[in-house]
Structure 1
């Protein structure tokens, strides 16, 4: 806990100093890392023009070929999450994306499901992560469960009147459309880490765990919860003081139980090795993952591994975009690597990733109510995380825009300390139903801080 206000340089050095203790010894070097999860995989399939039923693509009108692309029904290797990507990360897909899938080992096909076309979670403009040559445009990912057959269709919206005449060269759909099918891989072996976790950690896993070493043992799957008094005492100690019940106590909520990246089975070799930090945490942006609600809480680690792989391998980001994730049962998960108490730079709210943290609730909440357990988890997490940086969950703050579709670059914007994604970017996220619950989360978070 003492290191939560350390600089990014200090954090990186601390991780480096810890690593030699975690590398496999000669006696263990040849043994498999039993508790590491089995890596997943991504199938990337190009989309092609679709013809009307009963016609061929050769006889289809060129305009139709440009406006409708897809993939006919076909067998594929097993996967659980789908999304569509394209070449230009700044291009928007104005249209409809639908998929249907076949459950593995059956002949049963799902109905057509909509994929949210605008994934507005992204690195800030002009950052190295955003300008990387690997970054692509992408839809939101959709969790479909264990499947081995897929069909997809993408149809462009009709252009506004006169738009075609004004720019006849404009493409109705972004170039380079590809279907991404993500296999999350297998879960870590249950109980394996209890034997000798240090001996079986890879260097990358050890580094991701070392930045939380003040909170839990190296290689731990869970950061345990603390009482409010224990949390307050740790904050006071981290600030160089001594706990004294007669003096003013910090406004901070009890530390919640957090499942680490190790706990949900992150393949640490996917992400960039270095961690990225901002200066502080002044606000929390709440998101929904838009990946659908058809998952069991026991599947949440698989959903997170799939989103992680989709963000890194398909979208081209340095790591998963969110700082934290919450499932429908209220479990809290560590997101982007760098330390749960640290001001880790995320890729969750285009233009406002600096000095903020991003929390994604797994699910889609435009027309579905978020579970009370998930809203309560947002309150518990923000009461603690924002409390570490002295932020009042009921208050407002100013963040400087890095550029987006609501605020121009450089504008100081007054935002609620707990905001929805739509407050910083023109988007439906976090869904109408979840957005309406943020007032409840703010009040509960403030109470947990003792305000």
Structure 2
């Protein structure tokens, strides 16, 4: 049986019916008709990545990857009707090749609320590819570039509009629909308890460890990521991010957001694990990110060009206009103070790092001086961690230094 889909910029498209949801992408300058991914074994219809199709994870999570065929030219364009899909809560668009392959392109999406059936307004996805590893591909798996992931909440319908840049659409364009599921079951400890202040720590450098929700605590499916670990040198800097996902969330739902980001980073982008070393929710709860040991210098994929000798800490939410809650700022200060203090680093000090990628703000090999607690935008041309969070970094540094015993006056970030 086949389904007739009317009007892709004045052209009709016929696609085979499969069990996966059908998503339409409209382009008026370059039209990219959607070809559903194979639900089982067999050749993939677009792109070289082996990650296309429906990928599942323990606890009911899944990522549906829908390859795009094309491009085809059309003289006219018009609005494209939204389509019903399976349930998802986060989405993004990925492609083969480097992030700059989609230079000056735009992606807009519209989703339907699964609970109310109401279609939300159009939203634009960030196609800058600002997060990511700067190690060779062999160290991070079969990588793909992609937009920043967008948290939509429970959704069951989507429309996408892709407009290619001057170079045309990159190969292997795919829509990624992520359902975080209920999380994998694990017998491992769900939290790492906080250390009491002054509990045997060295004055002036090592702050007490905050309570940390482990990967088991947020329901990570450990079979999804790469099995090994990659370590860097001593962590000398912390880069603060925001996840650019919804801000007005219930903190009890933060593990769902983290699972969705994890699945997008690994199953859609092809990274070895979630990119961030830690995440902090709006209630100040700290979560373990990339696996390998919270005390150890795990090599992350968070600040392109400066993933070496650093840790990435992401505030869950979008803090461009939304003001970060005090609890979130305190959580960022606590984990930064503890992580830097493990090697005696002053959270209010400075550090020199060497750029590992010319796609960062600085050519590869350039030595750059950073604050020990810096923002993502300090190393990459991005607004991250947001116009509302970035100005709070000086107060976060001061509070982190106080927690290390270097500043006597309490500071509320």
Answer whether TM exceeds 0.5 for this pair. Answer: yes
Is the Cα contact below 8 Å between 1:125 and 1:350 reproduced in 2? no
The SS at the match of 1:305 is: helix
> CA offsets per residue over residues 267-301 of structure 1, 9 Å max, x none?
00000100110121000000111123242211100
Structure with greater helix percent: 1
Q: Distance in 2 between matches of 1:432 and 1:113?
A: 19
Q: Distance in 2 between matches of 1:330 and 1:71?
A: 42
Higher mean displacement: 353-362 or 401-410: 401-410
Q: Distance in 1 between matches of 2:132 and 2:160?
A: 24
How do 1:403-442 and structure 2 match up within 5 A?
A: 403=357, 404-442=359-397
- What residue in structure 2 maps to residue 229 of structure 1? 198
Structure with greater strand percent: 2
Cα deviation, residue 175, structure 1: 2.3
Q: Distance in 2 between matches of 1:442 and 1:291?
A: 24
How do 1:166-205 and structure 2 match up within 5 A?
A: 170-171=167-168, 173-187=169-183, 197=187
Q: Distance in 1 between matches of 2:200 and 2:384?
A: 32
- Pick aligned residue for 2:324 from 331, 348, 370: 370
User: Does 2:69 align with 1:73?
Assistant: no
Q: Alpha carbons of 1:83 and 1:429: their partners in 2 closer, same or farther (altered >3 Å)? A: same
User: Does 2:157 align with 1:149?
Assistant: yes
> CA offsets per residue over residues 26-79 of structure 1, 9 Å max, x none?
xxxxxxxxxx961411111234679xxxxxx87x22xx78xx9x9852111111
Is the Cα contact below 8 Å between 2:60 and 2:183 reproduced in 1? no
> CA offsets per residue over residues 202-227 of structure 1, 9 Å max, x none?
xxxxxxxxxxxxxxxxx100000111
Q: TM-score when scaled to structure 2?
A: 0.79
- Pick aligned residue for 1:395 from 338, 349, 352: 349
Cα deviation, residue 174, structure 1: 2.1
Q: TM-score when scaled to structure 1?
A: 0.73
Cα deviation, residue 260, structure 1: 0.2
The SS at the match of 2:394 is: helix
- Pick aligned residue for 2:145 from 113, 120, 137: 137
Q: Distance in 2 between matches of 1:367 and 1:155?
A: 27
Cα deviation, residue 126, structure 1: 3.3
The gaps in structure 1 that reach 5 residues or longer are 1-35, 51-56, 160-169, 198-218, 237-248
Is the Cα contact below 8 Å between 2:241 and 2:375 reproduced in 1? yes
Is the Cα contact below 8 Å between 1:285 and 1:418 reproduced in 2? yes
Cα deviation, residue 87, structure 1: 0.9
- What residue in structure 2 maps to residue 300 of structure 1? 254
Is the Cα contact below 8 Å between 1:72 and 1:152 reproduced in 2? no
- What residue in structure 2 maps to residue 164 of structure 1? none
Cα deviation, residue 155, structure 1: 2.3
Indicate the structure (1 or 2) with the bigger Cα radius of gyration. Answer: 1
Is the Cα contact below 8 Å between 1:47 and 1:71 reproduced in 2? no
The gaps in structure 2 that reach 5 residues or longer are 1-56, 407-413
Q: CA RMSD in A?
A: 2.3
Is the Cα contact below 8 Å between 1:143 and 1:294 reproduced in 2? no
How do 1:26-45 and structure 2 match up within 5 A?
A: 38-45=59-66
Q: Distance in 1 between matches of 2:258 and 2:226?
A: 18
- Pick aligned residue for 2:232 from 278, 281, 291: 278
- What residue in structure 2 maps to residue 128 of structure 1? 138
Is the Cα contact below 8 Å between 2:137 and 2:143 reproduced in 1? no
Q: Distance in 1 between matches of 2:350 and 2:115?
A: 52
Q: Alpha carbons of 1:72 and 1:345: their partners in 2 closer, same or farther (altered >3 Å)? A: farther
- What residue in structure 2 maps to residue 201 of structure 1? none
Q: Alpha carbons of 1:231 and 1:187: their partners in 2 closer, same or farther (altered >3 Å)? A: farther
Structure with more relative contact order (C-alpha pairs < 8 Å, separation 6 or more): 1
Q: Alpha carbons of 1:278 and 1:113: their partners in 2 closer, same or farther (altered >3 Å)? A: same
> CA offsets per residue over residues 116-151 of structure 1, 9 Å max, x none?
222311101436335x4x211110101111111111
Q: Alpha carbons of 1:48 and 1:364: their partners in 2 closer, same or farther (altered >3 Å)? A: farther
Q: Distance in 1 between matches of 2:63 and 2:325?
A: 31
- What residue in structure 2 maps to residue 18 of structure 1? none
> CA offsets per residue over residues 89-129 of structure 1, 9 Å max, x none?
34244233221111225421111122222231110143633
Q: Alpha carbons of 1:121 and 1:271: their partners in 2 closer, same or farther (altered >3 Å)? A: same
Is the Cα contact below 8 Å between 1:255 and 1:384 reproduced in 2? yes
Is the Cα contact below 8 Å between 1:116 and 1:290 reproduced in 2? no
Q: Distance in 2 between matches of 1:47 and 1:313?
A: 17
Higher mean displacement: 435-444 or 84-93: 84-93
> CA offsets per residue over residues 174-198 of structure 1, 9 Å max, x none?
2222110000011467xxx7xxx3x
- What residue in structure 2 maps to residue 20 of structure 1? none
